[in-house]
Each structure stands twice: as C-alpha cells, then as structure tokens.
Amino acid sequence: MSEEPILRADNLSLTFGQKKVLDQISLDIQPRQIITLIGPNGCGKSTLTKVLLGLVRPDSGKIIRSRQLRIGYMPQNLPLDQRMPLNVDEFLRLTRRSTRAAVDHWLERLNITSLKDQSVHDLSGGEWQRVLLARALLVEPELLVLDEPVQGVDVQGQLELYQLIPQLRDELGCAVLMISHDLHLVMSATDEVICLNGHVCCSGHPETVSADPAYLELFGRRLDDGIAYYTHHHDHEHCDHDHSSPHTNAGHHHD
Ligand SMILES: Nc1ncnc2c1ncn2[C@@H]1O[C@H](COP(=O)(O)OP(=O)(O)OP(=O)(O)O)[C@@H](O)[C@H]1O
C-alpha cells in the first residue's frame, strides 16, 4: 500500500508507576487497512488504543492523524447509569450527528432492529456489543476502532462478527483497528496482525506471521481440533528493529 497513512504512531512510550506499558511502539494505519492488535492480558492493547485515540497522553513519541480524521470507537465497556431509563434507539440518537435514517440503517444492517425499543440495561452481552458497534458506525468513521468486539459473544456470534468486519470496511471504505485475543478467529478478517507485549513483538500479514515456526512457538500451537490457543512465552529479549517502518518486518521474530 503506497497511500499516506491515516494515522502514524512513532516511538510511543508510556509508564504507569513502575510498569512500562508501552515501549517504543510505532505503527502506521493505511486507508481501508484492517489491523489487529493481539497480546496477553495486561500487555497494553487497550492503553495503546487509547493513546492512538488521543484519550491518554504518552510519555514520549508522536502521533500523526490525517486532518479531521473521523474515528468510530467501540470501547471494551461503557458503564451506564443504571437509574437512567434509556432504550436502544434513544441511546443511539445520543451519538453526535446521528439521524433517524442512519440509526434505522445500522440497526437493520446489524440485525438488531428488534432491540430498538428495549432498555439498554436489559441487553445480553452480545446484543450490547452490537449496539456499541452501531454507535461507532453512526459517525461514518474513516477509522473504526474496536476494543475486543466479541466480548460476551458466543462462538457463532464471534464468527459472524469477524465476517462482518471486512464487509463493513468495504461498505464504509474505512480502516479498522481491532483488539483481539483470538488469533485463529481473526486471521481471515485482518490484513495485518501486530503482536504486543509492551513492545511490538512481531507484526505482518497474518498468514506470513502464522506460518513462521518462531511465531507459533511464541504465540500459539495448533491443536488437532484446529484451534490455536494463545500461549505467549515472553522469556526472550526484544531485539532492536526499525520502529519507523514497522510494516517491513513481517514475520520478524526474536532471536
Ligand atoms: N490508568 C492506569 N493507571 C495505572 N495502570 C494502568 C492504567 N491503565 C492500565 N494500566 C495497567 O497497564 C497495563 C496494560 O493495561 P491494558 O488495559 O492496556 O492491557 P490490555 O492488553 O488491554 O489487557 P486485556 O487483554 O486484559 O484487556 C495493565 O497492567 C494495567 O493494569
């Protein structure tokens, strides 16, 4: 891809207390590109996402976004005041610049029209995820950011949601940055995987990365049932590489 990135992160670092959560992270997001961040619990995926969105300030490093980049953000959770009566339709209409027609469109597109008059407090985990996705789509994003979009969703629902993501990318022409724990589920829905553990452990096209024996050793083993379980053994040193061009090191792995 030779276009200008819509977002470029350059050497982002952030320490919380004693813990270096982000260590010199660089990445580019190209128009229409689907990028997935994977990594173990607490490795900094959500923090990196919030830094990229401008919600958290890094200690050092730089973020360049294209002018007036419209970002649709689906957070991992969105605590709501339980005492506030609010149905799905009213909740979605709170989104800035949302219109009646757009709300109806996304309700229908995500197969949740039947939830329109239901209280947001009574939704199942999977239904709530779809409503949050609709809310992110209502801003007509150029960049759609999904923080663990399949949380609380059953396996069939996860497969459907991951199939939907490239379709939404095609319909909106947007780029997608998503966080996932499920490498095997997300493989076919992503153009690039970035494996995080504070630093960028490896990155590249999912098939290139997944075919790398060193990658499998680090990030999973494929069992007979075809499921690759995520088992990151981070007992290695991070060798230096060129952070200014993170996408050139597809299949890069540690010594
Ligand atoms: N505001 C904060 N203050 C202090 N520590 C924080 C803060 N936010 C996150 N952390 C810590 O930073 C680390 C990275 O957290 P983050 O939520 O980014 O991880 P994650 O990779 O998204 O994890 P998970 O997969 O469990 O959602 C964790 O150790 C977390 O406890």
Ligand 1 contact, 42 CB (< 6 A): yes
- pLDDT, residue 23, reads 95
CA–centroid distance, 181 to ligand 1, in Å, is 15
Ligand 1 contact, 5 CB (< 6 A): no
Predicted ipTM > 0.95:
yes
CA–centroid distance, 59 to ligand 1, in Å, is 15
Domain boundaries 7-70+143-248, CATH class: alpha beta
Burial zone of 177 (CB within 10 Å; 0-12 exposed, 13-18 middle, 19+ buried): buried
User: Could you state, in order of their start, the residue ranges of all structural domains in the chain?
Assistant: 7-70+143-248, 81-140
> Residue 175: in which H helix or E strand, if any?
strand 175-179
The secondary structure of 149-172, three-state, reads CCCCCCHHHHHHHHHHHHHHHHHH
CA-wise closest residue to 136 among 183, 95, 99, 101: 95
CA–centroid distance, 21 to ligand 1, in Å, is 7
Residues 78, 115: Cα–Cα separation, whole Å: 18
The secondary structure of 23-62, three-state, reads EEEEEEECCCCEEEEECCCCCCHHHHHHHHHCCCCCCEEE
Q: Could you tell me the pTM of the whole model? A: 0.83
Query: Which residue ranges in the chain fall short of pLDDT 70?
Result: 1-2, 212-255
